[in-house]
Amino acid sequence: MRWWGYFVAGVILLLVVLWIINSSTDGILPDLSHFVLFPQSDVVYVYPNTNLTLYSPSSISPWDWFNPSVVLSPSKNGYIALVRESDFHGRKDFNRSTPPWFSRTVLCKIGFDGTLKASSLVRFNYDDLKECRGKNSVFGNGIEDARLFRYKNELWAVANVLGSKEQHDPCVNAMLLFKVGDNQPLKIQPLSITGVPTSQRQKNWCPFEYTSNQQTQLLCEYNINPHIIIDCTKAETNGGVCTKLVSTYNHDIPHKHLSGGACPILLRDMHTQASSGYINVCHNYEITATGKHYYNFIYLFESTPPFSITHMSRPFKIAKGEKIQFVSGLDYDHSTGEVILSYGIDDSGIHIARFDLEMLLKQTSPIN
């Protein structure tokens, strides 16, 4: 009867694989390298000094707001946020039978107490976007997961765009760069990289400002490890073309398939103003019988080329540790010494947490 036990085990394994395929966002079997589980003892739970939660008011939008990118307002009296607005109502709505899902980007002003002060739709021609059908008849389009950053004392953003006729392939994700606050309708100009096929799917670029010899450049983290940096300084005037600048690989980083989360910020000594490196947050995920679990990582990299990663934390969760926590915004409040992390939970809601910088830095360890 031993063969019967093997048969039952095989059927169970097949059912698990079919469940994972059906649960995958693109309907294909995910990369099996994500099945490397983190021991529970290796996951750090970090608790913020304050933690705000805000949902889209039904009087303003019937759609959900989530995956916020938040920075301090120029007047330092609250937050500026870009949030993803979608008719996709959180993970509980993922398996519904009535797509499409559509995403837009909303600009919000939020008080320190979590009060929504103002909101407006970022002005793109959303009606001109094509519907893109994926696996399992899941399809959608729009502009999603915008990330705020400062460049030459102005607020800019990058976002993922899908469905634009300006893309090489409207149904292959591309990145979009735009200045925040322009009153005119914004043009959808997808970014590209010299030497990289425009048909290649692009997501999770993390821009940052770099100044050397009184010259300011707009650089992006294109990949975490290898740590690939691209130069997009001239993208606004040359049709969105960026160039590869430098790449470093660190064999001592134990985590695979790390993806960009927020935009890096430069740390400076409070007294001398000397730069001590950039700080950022990335993520990866694992797949278990209960679905995807996202984990975030704090890391530091050099303030000058080749921008090698020097420190990294263990995988961490914020407070309650929901399965899907996606950190998409990062800023630093010099007046309080706090780091501001903005994140989404299960694709629903705006969450803003503040941590002591020193506490977060203590979570990291040197990378040889």
Can you tell me the distance from the alpha carbon of 252 to that of 255, in angstroms, rounded to the nearest whole number? 9
Can you tell me the distance from the alpha carbon of 172 to that of 159, in angstroms, rounded to the nearest whole number? 14
**Cβ atoms 77, 46 nearer than 8 A:** no
Q: Domain residues for 112?
A: 25-366
Mind listing the pLDDT tens digit for each residue in 32-74? 333 344 555 588 899 999 999 999 888 888 888 999 999 999 8
Instruction: Classify residue 3: in a domain, yes or no.
Output: no
Mind listing the pLDDT tens digit for each residue in 178-223? 999 766 778 888 999 999 998 899 999 999 999 999 999 999 999 9
**Is the Cα dihedral 271, 274, 277, 279 positive or negative?**
positive
At residue 163, φ and ψ (nearest 5 deg) are 105, 5
Cα 138-142-146 angle, rounded to 5 deg: 120
pTM of the model: 0.85
Question: Tokens 């399965």 appear where?
Answer: 323
Between 136 and 268, the more confident residue is 268
Instruction: Classify residue 7: in a domain, yes or no.
Output: no
Instruction: Classify residue 81: in a domain, yes or no.
Output: yes
- Domain holding 50: CATH number? 2.115.10.20
Q: Taking the mean position of all CA atoms in its chain, how far away is CA 206?
A: 8
Instruction: Classify residue 17: in a domain, yes or no.
Output: no
Instruction: Classify residue 2: in a domain, yes or no.
Output: no
Can you tell me the distance from the alpha carbon of 312 to that of 301, in angstroms, rounded to the nearest whole number? 9
Question: Integer distance in angstroms from the first to the last C-alpha of the chain?
Answer: 54
Q: What is the total count of domains within the chain?
A: 1
Residue 25 has pLDDT above 60, yes or no: no
Instruction: Classify residue 214: in a domain, yes or no.
Output: yes
Instruction: Classify residue 76: in a domain, yes or no.
Output: yes
Can you tell me the distance from the alpha carbon of 281 to that of 339, in angstroms, rounded to the nearest whole number? 11
Mind listing the pLDDT tens digit for each residue in 6-17? 554 554 555 544
Alpha carbon distances (Å) from 234 to 24, 265, 307: 37, 21, 20
Instruction: Classify residue 8: in a domain, yes or no.
Output: no
Q: How confident is the model at residue 271 (pLDDT cuts 50, 70, 90)?
A: low
For the segment 71-99, the average pLDDT, to the nearest whole number, is 74
